[in-house]
C-alpha cells in the first residue's frame, strides 16, 4: 500500500535585494542575485547590479597619462582658472581699489607675499584677459591638462604664475631718489601672462621628451617676445620668468616619468617652489629698504 507523497515545496519568489518589494526574474551576471530595472546596469553580457558595478570600480585602477596623472576628458582646472579670472575682472570693474589690493608690486611683495600669485588672476583690460584666456584654452585646456592630468597641470600653472612675479622682482631695484625715479620697484604688474608662458615652456619640454614637434609654439613665443619689447606697459620680465619656471617644472615631471622615479615627482615640484622662495628672500635681503608713502 503506497503512502501519499509530500506536496512539492514552493519556490520563493525572486526579489531585488535593494528593493524587496519588487519581483525580478532577471539576475546579475556577476553575483547571480535578482536585480530590478532600477538597479540594472548594462554589462558586456546581460546586466550587472549596482553593488557589483561599484565593487568592480574599486578594484580597477584608474587610467593614467604617460606622466602619471589621472586621465581626464574634461579640462576642469582650465575651466576653473578661466572662471576665476573672469570673475575677478568683473569685480575689478565694480569694486574700487580691488586691483590695487591684488596686483604685484615689488615694493609690497615682502610684506604682502600673496601678491606673487593673486596678480595672475587680475587683468588690466578686456583685450588683456581675452588674449590670455584664449592662449590658456588653446594650450592648456586642449592639450596640457589632458597630457599631465589635473593636479600636475594646476601645479605647473600656479607655480609658473609665481615664477613670473619672482622674475619681475629680480629684475627690478628700489629707486634711488624716492618717487623721482619711477622704477619697476614701484610699478604694478597684473595678468596671467606669466602663468600662460609657463604653459608654453612646459609644452616645449614635454613635447621634446615625447618626440613631438613644437614648431608653432616657437613662433608664438618669438612673436610675444617681440611684442614685449615693442609694445609699452608689457611686463616681459614676468613672461620670461613664467617660461623658465614652466620649463623647469616640465623637466622635473619628464625626468620622473619612469615608475622607479615617480616618487620624486612632487618633491621635485616642491624644490622648484623652494628655489623661487629663496630667490625672493635673497633679493629683498640685498635690496635697500624703501618705504612706500601714501
User: Which residues are part of the catalytic machinery?
Assistant: 193, 239
Instruction: Please state, in angstroms and rounded to a whole number, the distance separating the CA atoms of residues 89 and 105.
Output: 18
Instruction: Please state, in angstroms and rounded to a whole number, the distance separating the CA atoms of residues 263 and 181.
Output: 49
Reference 163, options 135, 185, 192; nearest CA is: 192
Who's near 78: CB < 8 A, 6+ residues apart?
136, 137, 140, 141, 145, 153
> Hey, how many other C-beta atoms are within 10 angstroms of the C-beta on 157?
27
Relative to beta strand 47-49, strand 40-42 is antiparallel
Helix axes 215-230, 193-210, angle to 10 degrees: 150
Amino acid at each position: 500500500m503506497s503512502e501519499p507523497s509530500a506536496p512539492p515545496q514552493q519556490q520563493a519568489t525572486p526579489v531585488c535585494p535593494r528593493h524587496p518589494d519588487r519581483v525580478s526574474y532577471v539576475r546579475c551576471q556577476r553575483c547571480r542575485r535578482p536585480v530590478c530595472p532600477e538597479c540594472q546596469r548594462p554589462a558586456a553580457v546581460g546586466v550587472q547590479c549596482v553593488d557589483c558595478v561599484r565593487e568592480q570600480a574599486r578594484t580597477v585602477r584608474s587610467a593614467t597619462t604617460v606622466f602619471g596623472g589621472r586621465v581626464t576628458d574634461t579640462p576642469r582646472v582650465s575651466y576653473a582658472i578661466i572662471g576665476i579670472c573672469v570673475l575677478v575682472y568683473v569685480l575689478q570693474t565694480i569694486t574700487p581699489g580691488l586691483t590695487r589690493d591684488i596686483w604685484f608690486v615689488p615694493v609690497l611683495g615682502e610684506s604682502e607675499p600673496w601678491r606673487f600669485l593673486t596678480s595672475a588672476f587680475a587683468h588690466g583690460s578686456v583685450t588683456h584677459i581675452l588674449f590670455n584666456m584664449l592662449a590658456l584654452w588653446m594650450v592648456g585646456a586642449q592639450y596640457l591638462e589632458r597630457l599631465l592630468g589635473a593636479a600636475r597641470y594646476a601645479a605647473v600653472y600656479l607655480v609658473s604664475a609665481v615664477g613670473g612675479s619672482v622674475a619681475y622682482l629680480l629684475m627690478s631695484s628700489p629707486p634711488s631718489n624716492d618717487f623721482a625715479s619711477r622704477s619697476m620697484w614701484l610699478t604694478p604688474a597684473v595678468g596671467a601672462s606669466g602663468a600662460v608662458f609657463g604653459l608654453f615652456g612646459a609644452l616645449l619640454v614635454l613635447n621634446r621628451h615625447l618626440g613631438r614637434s613644437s614648431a608653432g609654439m616657437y613662433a608664438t613665443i618669438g612673436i610675444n617676445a617681440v611684442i614685449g619689447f615693442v609694445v609699452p606697459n608689457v611686463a616681459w620680465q614676468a613672461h620670461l620668468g613664467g617660461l623658465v619656471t614652466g620649463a623647469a617644472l616640465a623637466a622635473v615631471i619628464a625626468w620622473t616619468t619612469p615608475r622607479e622615479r615617480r616618487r620624486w615627482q612632487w618633491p621635485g615640484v616642491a624644490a622648484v617652489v623652494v628655489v623661487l622662495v629663496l630667490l625672493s628672500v635673497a633679493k629683498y635681503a640685498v635690496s635697500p629698504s624703501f618705504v612706500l608713502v601714501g
